[in-house]
Homo-oligomer: A and B are copies of this chain.
Amino acid sequence: MKRPPPSALEQAVVVDLTAVIVGVSDDQPKVLVLPRRGGTGPLEALPSGPLQLRHRTLEAGLRAWVEAQTGASLGYVEQLYTFGDQDRAAEPGGARRVLSIGYLALTRAAASPAPGETEWRDWYRYFPWEDWRQGRPAVLGRLERGLRRWVTAARAGAERGARSERVRLAFGLDGAAWSDERVLDRYELLYEIGLVAEAMRQGVAGALAVDRTKLAAQPMAADHRRILATAIARLRSKIKYRPVVFELMAPTFTFLQLQRAVETLAGVRLHKQNFRRLVSQRGLVEETGSIVTGTGGRPARELRYRQEAILERPAPGVRLPAVRGE
């Protein structure tokens, strides 16, 4: 076994625990950020901190940091991904390797003012092309030009074909469908091409020399926008097969409020009657018996989440055509 003695080639490692704390308010998806942090310049950052000896588990460490930095304690938490590219998240000075473990946390607290020095920010501020609720977002036009320039910059042939397919799939061009879940694919592609500010900071080879002000959307510190993209992608995917939306809702709500929350996260509009049918058929909610007025129209029935829901069915998900015994 070619296993060298430990420590021979190893490197000092700092493990950074980073949280994407999501909430919904005013029909907008919100994420908790630290507006700026000493040293990193005027960039917004996600709450994070290094793993320490006293943290028994990674998740415990994350919860401790978030509590220290925001005063809020987290409910639903889920690990997302561990990033560790040497050239995308080096420590200033580059002495130690930085590993960042990203987490997604869901909270109902976005309606209240953000605690401490934090702010709730609309996540589409960082990813304006992801919001299709009002139809195709305008930014996409500008991005598309940059993307096509990158495709044609390749010599015709295999490389160009590959680039073209990648762009087509990620951004739903030339007849391909837009997929709300490819948030990370899109961000990574833009990074690679050099269309986001983070790429310029890290000096990506071939980064387009575009005026900073024209670079796509609001950047974040370190690789935090990448982690946020991962979180959005995961949440958009999960919302379709697990009842996670309810983690973001008040204890009681109406069908429309629930629908708006889902639309907000998925970035698309849904068909009202069918959404209602879907939710009630799945048995995910039950009526409280009360009626909510002031909806701007006919009063709505008040609903609450049915805890027992998950217990009953094996949780939707795409099923395989199983058979009993054959």
Which chain B residues lie closer than 8 Å to A318 at the CB level? Answer: 240-241, 316-318
CB distance from A50 to the nearest CB of B (A): 6
Assembled-state Cα–Cα distance A56/B178 (Å): 32
Assembled-state Cα–Cα distance A51/B97 (Å): 10
CB distance from A311 to the nearest CB of B (A): 6
- A165–B311 contact, CB under 8 A? yes
Q: Which of A5-13, A119-127, A137-145, A146-154 binds B?
A: A5-13
Known: A240-B320, A268-B322. A3 touches B314 (CB 8 A): no
Which chain B residues lie closer than 8 Å to A178 at the CB level? Answer: 314
A58 at the interface (CB under 8 A from B): yes
- CB proximity to B under 8 Å, residues A176-213: 176-179, 181
- B321–A271 contact, CB under 8 A? yes
A86 at the interface (CB under 8 A from B): yes
- B11–A13 contact, CB under 8 A? no
Instruction: Give the size range of A's interface with the partner.
Output: 35 or more
Q: Which of A76-84, A283-291, A292-300 binds B?
A: A76-84
Known: A13-B51, A323-B271. A57 touches B37 (CB 8 A): no
Which chain B residues lie closer than 8 Å to A85 at the CB level? Answer: 56-58
Assembled-state Cα–Cα distance A278/B164 (Å): 29
Assembled-state Cα–Cα distance A85/B51 (Å): 11
- CB proximity to B under 8 Å, residues A67-97: 68-69, 79, 81-87, 97
- B51–A11 contact, CB under 8 A? yes
A15 at the interface (CB under 8 A from B): yes
Assembled-state Cα–Cα distance A278/B124 (Å): 37
Assembled-state Cα–Cα distance A87/B53 (Å): 12
Which chain B residues lie closer than 8 Å to A321 at the CB level? Answer: 270-271, 274-275, 278
Please list 6 pairs of residues, one from A and one from B, whose beta carbons are closer than 8 Å in the complex, sorted by A's number: A57-B85, A168-B311, A179-B315, A269-B322, A269-B325, A269-B326
- Interface residues, chain A, CB within 8 Å of chain B? 1-3, 6, 9-15, 34, 37-38, 49-58, 68-69, 79, 81-87, 97, 99, 101, 117, 135, 165, 168-169, 176-179, 181, 237, 240-241, 262, 266, 268-272, 274-275, 278, 310-323, 325-326
